[in-house]
Each structure stands twice: as structure tokens, then as C-alpha cells.
């Protein structure tokens, strides 16, 4: 859709990336690291001072204790952390529970590892998890359950009660949880991010994955990390060692220093909540119906009152004829279920959001 947006010079609210600048200070710190010769391979698990800052940040935000030496691995984006975790844990004959609609990297990694994805639909209208149904899908072959909160593409978030339900399942069965928490700081309406790191019983059985790209508006830097108990971390590092070995050294130095201040990431919720509200205000006179987004930088809009076209057809028509690009939600479903909804990314300059609203009100 991004390519199509470019070809048709459409406003691109499809792919999830900001159109505004990253912090000048972060660029300055990267430049200092590069100019002072920090340009050779970093240690395999990540720069020790960066892992220490991450551990401090997690202690501060989630009140948990993480050992930087044995529990944190810095990776080439969350994508690598997810892939290395799945490859390390899933083998031929294993089943992996994935909630649909799902971020697109999970199922292919499971299949490449010889595993079978078991897709469970989130329940509408608010895309919540039916834990009873999940319980019915778990069996002796279930190796992994993948959760994502705040959730791409729907903007739904897991609650503390959801984690209670997950804890009950973990006590009864032997699966591991892979928790994609890349939007940890993008959570709105006074809600708290329910990281698995907050719960000792869940933390002991899970890998949590994060992304600096999302937190620092720098998706092109592709740097993230995985946090897991030592025995799981050892397995992840066995894959990471031969997948990338180590990631960008100067950026790790810069991030280690930048993380000493909480100002940036503590301001993110409000920053993106204002963007979400601006988008909602500017489409309020349109015929699109928003689905509540409590996190991420995505807003789902239902077009049930507008058209009977498939979501793919409408997304293409909006891009070509109306010059606004979005993502059809059916592509996030294994069975291409069409809910007649499109996903719009509001991580954009206010001016772009206002222009997008004007177009959507004319449709």
C-alpha cells in the first residue's frame, strides 16, 4: 500500500511509521558515537550499558527485576526478536496459538520452523480475547501462545483481568508465551500497559519483545530487544548468534545514553493520544465509524455505512481515486475475513491528519 500511495501521490496512512523527526539529541549522540570510533561489532547479546539501562527502565516502569547479563538480548528490531524466539522454541509438530487479526510476521516464522499456527479470532466489536475458547485450543502440542498488547492492527489492549485468565492457563498447561509489546508506551485513556513483566508467574514462562523504533519514532533504525528468563534467553541467543550476531554499535551507545532520561517515553502516551483525538475529531462528520483504539498509533474505521466493496477493493479505490492510503484488515486474518474495516495510521504531522480527515469526510 505504501508503494501504491507513492505512485498515486496519496496521503500515506497505511504503513505504521511516523512522518515527523526523531530527537535531535539522539542524532547528536549517534554522531558522537560514530565519530569517536564506536563502529565495530558490539557484543553478541548487546552493549552491556544499553542492557543495564533497559533493566533500569523496566524496573522503573513495571516494578520488575531483570538481569541485564542473562535476560536481555538486543536484536535487529522486534522482528528479529520475534523470529529468533519462534525459531528457538518451535519445532516440527508443535502448535502455536495466534490471535487474528495478527501482525504478519508471526505465522510465517512458525511455519518455517515446522510448526502449525492455530488461529483464534479476537471477538468483536472490541477485539477482546475469549479465554475459554483459547483454553479449548490448548493441548499437549501447544508450544507457544503469541499475544500482542497494545494490538496492531486493532488498537485493543489487554487488561489486568486478561492476565489473570492467562495465569490460570499457564498454571494448567506447559506452553510458553511470546508477548509482543512494541507499543508499550503508546497507550491511552489513562490505561496502564499490562506487560507480562509485571506478573512473576507469567514472566517466568514468557519472552517479552520491545522496539526502540516505535518508542523513539525511528522505525528505520531496526533495533529492539527480547527479555526472557535465563534458560529461554540462552535459546534465543543461539539463534541470534547466527542470524545477525550483533546489531548496530553506535546506535546502541546513543540509546544507552538517551535512556538515562525518561522524558521522551513518558510523554508518548499523551502525544499519541492527542494525535488519535485529532484524527477522530476530523472524521466525526464522515460516514466512517471508528472502533475504539486504546493504544498503538492505529485507528480502525468501519465503512459498513458507505460501501459493500471488499476491504481490499475499497483500500485500493481510496488510494487511487481519493489519494488516501490505508490497510484493509482482511490481510491480517489467515482466512482473509472481511469485517469491512480499514486501518489508518495517525503517527503523522497534525497537518497530514487534518487533510486526511477532510478527504474521509467527502467519501
What is the binding site for ligand PMP (CB under 6 A)? 16, 77-79, 103, 148, 152, 180, 182, 211, 213, 219, 222, 224
Nearest to ligand PMP of 182, 202 (CB atom) = 182
CB of 73 to ligand PMP, least distance (A): 14
Angle at 217 between CA 215 and CA 221, to 5 degrees: 95
Nearest to ligand PMP of 62, 332 (CB atom) = 332
The two beta strands, 206-211 and 224-227, are antiparallel
Can you tell me the distance from the alpha carbon of 86 to that of 199, in angstroms, rounded to the nearest whole number? 22
CB of 85 to ligand PMP, least distance (A): 12
CB of 347 to ligand PMP, least distance (A): 11
Cβ atoms 99, 129 nearer than 8 A: yes
Nearest to ligand PMP of 76, 359 (CB atom) = 76
* Backbone angles phi and psi of 300, in degrees to 5: -85, 140
> Three cell numbers at 179?
508477548
Cβ atoms 14, 153 nearer than 8 A: no
Can you tell me the distance from the alpha carbon of 68 to that of 118, in angstroms, rounded to the nearest whole number? 33
Nearest to ligand PMP of 184, 257 (CB atom) = 184
CB of 75 to ligand PMP, least distance (A): 8
Angle at 202 between CA 197 and CA 208, to 5 degrees: 45
CB of 153 to ligand PMP, least distance (A): 8
Nearest to ligand PMP of 75, 319 (CB atom) = 75
The residues, any chain, with a CB within 8 Å of residue 254's CB and separated by 6 or more, are: 26, 29, 30, 32, 33
Q: Which residue is nearest to ligand PMP (CB)?
A: 77
Nearest to ligand PMP of 88, 226 (CB atom) = 226
Cβ atoms 152, 186 nearer than 8 A: no
CB of 82 to ligand PMP, least distance (A): 6
Amino acid at each position: 500500500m505504501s508503494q501504491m500511495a507513492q505512485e498515486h501521490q496519496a496521503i500515506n496512512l497505511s504503513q505504521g511509521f511516523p512522518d515527523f523527526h526523531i530527537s535531535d539529541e539522539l542524532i547528536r549522540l549517534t554522531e558522537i558515537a560514530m565519530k569517536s570510533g564506536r563502529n565495530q561489532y558490539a557484543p553478541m547479546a548487546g552493549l552491556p550499558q544499553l542492557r543495564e539501562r533497559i533493566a533500569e527502565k523496566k524496573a522503573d516502569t513495571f516494578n520488575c527485576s531483570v538481569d541485564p547479563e542473562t535476560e536481555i538480548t538486543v536484536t535487529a528490531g522486534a522482528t528479529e526478536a520475534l523470529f529468533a524466539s519462534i525459531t528457538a522454541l518451535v519445532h516440527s509438530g508443535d502448535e502455536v496459538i495466534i490471535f487474528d487479526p495478527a501482525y504478519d510476521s508471526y505465522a510465517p516464522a512458525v511455519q518455517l520452523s515446522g510448526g502449525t499456527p492455530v488461529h483464534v479470532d479476537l471477538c468483536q466489536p472490541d477485539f477482546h480475547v475469549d479465554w475459554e475458547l483459547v483454553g479449548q485450543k490448548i493441548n499437549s502440542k501447544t508450544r507457544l501462545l503469541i499475544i500482542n498488547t497494545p494490538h496492531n492492527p486493532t488498537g485493543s489492549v489487554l487488561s489486568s483481568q486478561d492476565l489473570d485468565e492467562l495465569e490460570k492457563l499457564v498454571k494448567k498447561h506447559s506452553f510458553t508465551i511470546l508477548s509482543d509489546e512494541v507499543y508499550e508506551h503508546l497507550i491511552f485513556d489513562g490505561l496502564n500497559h499490562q506487560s507480562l513483566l509485571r506478573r512473576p508467574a507469567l514472566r517466568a514462562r514468557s519472552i517479552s519483545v520491545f522496539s526502540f523504533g516505535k518508542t523513539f519514532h525511528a522505525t528505520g533504525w531496526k533495533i529492539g530487544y527480547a527479555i526472557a528468563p535465563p534458560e529461554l534467553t540462552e535459546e534465543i541467543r543461539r539463534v541470534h548468534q547466527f542470524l545477525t550476531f550483533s546489531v548496530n554499535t553506535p546506535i546502541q551507545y546513543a540509546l544507552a545514553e538517551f535512556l538515562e532520561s525518561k522524558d521522551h517515553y513518558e510523554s508518548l502516551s499523551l502525544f499519541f493520544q492527542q494525535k488519535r483525538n485529532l484524527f477522530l475529531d476530523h472524521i466525526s462528520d464522515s460516514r466512517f465509524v471508528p472502533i475504539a483504539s486504546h493504544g498503538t498509533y492505529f485507528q480502525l474505521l468501519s465503512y459498513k455505512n458507505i460501501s459493500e466493496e471488499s476491504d481490499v477493493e475499497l483500500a485500493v479505490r481510496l488510494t487511487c481515486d481519493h489519494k488516501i492510503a490505508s490497510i484493509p484488515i482482511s490481510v491480517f486474518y489467515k482466512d482473509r475475513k472481511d469485517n469491512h474495516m480499514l486501518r489508518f495510521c495517525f503517527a503523522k504531522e497534525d497537518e497530514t491528519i487534518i487533510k486526511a480527515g477532510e478527504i474521509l469526510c467527502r467519501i
